[in-house]
Amino acid sequence: MTELENEFIRFWVSDGILYSKFKCEVNFDLDKIKKLIETRHVISNNDNQYWCYDVKEANGFSKECRDYVDIHGQEFLFACALVINSHIQKFLFNTFLKLKKSKIPFQIFTNEEKATEWLLEIKAKNEINSI
């Protein structure tokens, strides 16, 4: 299994899915969000991935962070499943997604298994379409 981590997040690849979890509670600033994206690019080897992104320990993204992610956060991704803590957070993220269209398939889940199933479905469809 391929694995990479820094001081606040751990990435690993299993069955063709890129996973990540925060190692502690994180309050984001621009430097941290840049580090996160750079680390994801390194483990991805700058190849597109299907990402199961657990943000349960993430607290607060400044507008500066959101703007940076809007430009650079979807690079080298086929799809992203965001795993969060609560249905209230899910509602808030879904509202945000309606305002900002994602460049890739992007879905929010409160269950990692369902997030992985969704990513595997997209991966299978993409593999069939590439034949």
Q: Which of 12, 8, 54, 50 is nearest to 29 (CA)?
A: 8
Instruction: Give the residue, 11 or 130, on which the prediction is more confident.
Output: 11
Q: What is the reported pTM?
A: 0.88
- Tens of pLDDT, residue by residue over 67-103, are 898 889 999 999 999 998 876 666 666 666 666 777 8
Domains contained in the chain, number? 1
Query: Cα(49)–Cα(28) distance, rounded to whole angstroms?
Result: 23
Query: Which residues partner with 82 through β-bridges?
Result: 53, 108
CATH of the domain at 92: 3.30.750.24
Query: First CA to last CA across the chain, in angstroms?
Result: 27
Query: Which residues partner with 39 through β-bridges?
Result: none
Beta strand segments in 49-104, E: 49-54, 58-59, 77-83
Give the pLDDT of residue 111.
Answer: 93
| Residues of the domain holding 86 | 2-129
- Tens of pLDDT, residue by residue over 47-73, are 999 999 999 988 877 889 888 988 899
Query: Cα(129)–Cα(12) distance, rounded to whole angstroms?
Result: 26
